[in-house]
Amino acid sequence: MAVSLNGFQVSQAYLEGKAVKETKALMAELCRQFYTLGWVSGTGGSITVKVHDDSIPKPHQIILMAPSGVQKERMEPEDMYVLSQDASVLSAPSPKPYPHKPPKCSDCSPLFMKAYQMRDAGAVYHSHGIESCLVTMINPLSKEFRITHMEMIKGIKGHGYYDELVIPIIENTAYEYELTDSFAKAIEAYPKTTAVLVRNHGVFVWGDSWISAKTQTECYHYLFDAAIKLHQMGLDWSTPDHGPIQSARRGLRHAGESILSVKARKSDGEIDPFPRCIVLDIEGTTTPISFVSEVLFPYARDNVGRHLSATYDTLDTQNDIKLLRSQIQSDLEQGIAGAVPVPSVDAGKEEVVAAVVANVDAMIKADRKITALKELQGHIWKTGYENNELEGIVFDDLPEALEKWHALGIKVYIYSSGSRLAQRLIFGKTNYGDLRKYLSGFFDTTVGNKKETHSYVNISESLGVDKPSDILFVTDIFQEATAAKAAGLEVIISIRPGNAPLPENHEFKTIKSFSEI
């Protein structure tokens, strides 16, 4: 007898064969380990793993899933459910005598399937570990967990020591299946995440294989625990040096007070810690427009073909081409000038590269602020910085300002249309050295277009501030300033050589140097 898995035939003998049996045994063992770690105690939490078999295409591989409401540490291989890719149950465990409950597939099943469908996962784990619960409660307003400059971040796919790890937080519901929509939206909104936190509940983690998922789950719990302990010590886990949460800002004197400190004065003369966060634009704010337009853009444009050809088979480049292909298809449907079809991969490397180069050249000339282009540019610039062909240029007053804000305990973030990678590259190797130690994080167009109000609402929610006015946004673009102000942020416009003129009577505060803040 054969079972059809989305058109792919799998025999009943296979369902009862070695690969499935070994994966079931592995899951039982993992559940015992996770119980010991406190991740699945009290029948909570769950686990699901695909049966890896090179003879079966990954989209058709069988899914094994633990049952719901059972003692995870006492599970046996025969207790696992066997599912197809469309969540159809191919095999269910037999009922056990009292006091065991009748078998029921995991309540997390709809969420697990979203991770399989949207991320092509090989395994997904759901933990109720106390660390994953408490870390969402430290700041009940925050929509994200952020941490940086911790060694264990290197254990998370696509991240290094200097990177900021960002995990979305969704709100809990009475039943886990009710989380499905918000879980899917979080996965879509955070394309680089491999985890979603559920406030007051736990965490879902996925990976390409059971090993990848296990490694990352261990690293996430370590980082959650570290954040909680740093918080208890009065230290800030989300800043590069993990300095004190409470700063010495109240030591500011009245003489020579800045725009911000004057505004922050209470009636009794005491200085409030204001702002809590500063968000900086790059082009025309921290960095001359000429560096972007005359150095970075030409470098990316001139090296697109070389970069794509040299890195064509890498995962990053294949993902870049996939993103661009989707964007180009949309451009063709809308009749965007300069868009040309990209042939399928069967056409060969040279044809695909040539078509992508033509589209990218048109996008750069049109100065389009689209994620697909920015991701590719970031990877091209990465090579340039690594080969010492590029060096980030910042205004002379920026390093001193960053050092001052850092000493005052003010968190500084970057928001640019360039990718997060491109942003880290600019500040990681500048004419004043590595400035990333002063930066708490980076935002790009994945939070939204810089000229749209909802983007700044998203940033406010990400940072978990009490009110949007706790954030100061500095930019050179009037439309960005207007959008940020509409979201409730404090706004200052940067006046630098080469910046576009502002409308008359714009009513925004302006500065010519960061020393004025």
SS3 67: strand
Q: Are 433 and 445 in contact (CB under 8 A)?
A: no
Examine the residue annotation and report whether 151 is marked as an active-site residue of this protein: yes
Cα 86 → chain centroid:
27
Q: Which of 151, 178, 386, 389 is catalytic?
A: 151
Please enumerate, by residue number, every residue annotated as part of a binding site for Mg(2+).
281, 283, 476
Cα 287 → chain centroid:
25
Please enumerate, by residue number, every residue annotated as part of a binding site for Zn(2+).
126, 128, 201
Please enumerate, by residue number, every residue annotated as part of a binding site for substrate.
108, 416-417, 450
Q: Which helix (H) or strand (E) holds 72?
A: none
Distance between CA atoms of 206 and 191, rounded to whole angstroms? Answer: 13
Q: Are 265 and 272 in contact (CB under 8 A)?
A: yes
The angle formed by the CA atoms of residues 406, 412 and 418, to the nearest 5 degrees, is 140
Q: Are 67 and 107 in contact (CB under 8 A)?
A: no
Closest among 109, 130, 231, 244 to 178, alpha carbons compared: 109
Q: Are 369 and 417 in contact (CB under 8 A)?
A: yes
Closest among 330, 425, 341 to 375, alpha carbons compared: 425
Residue 165 bridge partners (DSSP): 147
Which runs of E-coded beta strand occur in 352-450? 411-415, 441-443
The pair of three-digit structure tokens given for residue 307, joined into one six-digit string: 């970069």
The pair of three-digit structure tokens given for residue 463, joined into one six-digit string: 């940072």
Other residues' Cβ atoms within 10 Å of the Cβ of residue 396: 10
Place of tokens 């048109």: 362
| Amino acid symbol at 138 | I
Please enumerate, by residue number, every residue annotated as part of a binding site.
108, 126, 128, 201, 281, 283, 416-417, 450, 476
Cα separations in angstroms, 406 against 244, 271, 435, 476: 11, 17, 11, 22
- HSE-up (13 A, CA, CB side) for residue 495: 9
Residues tagged active-site: 151
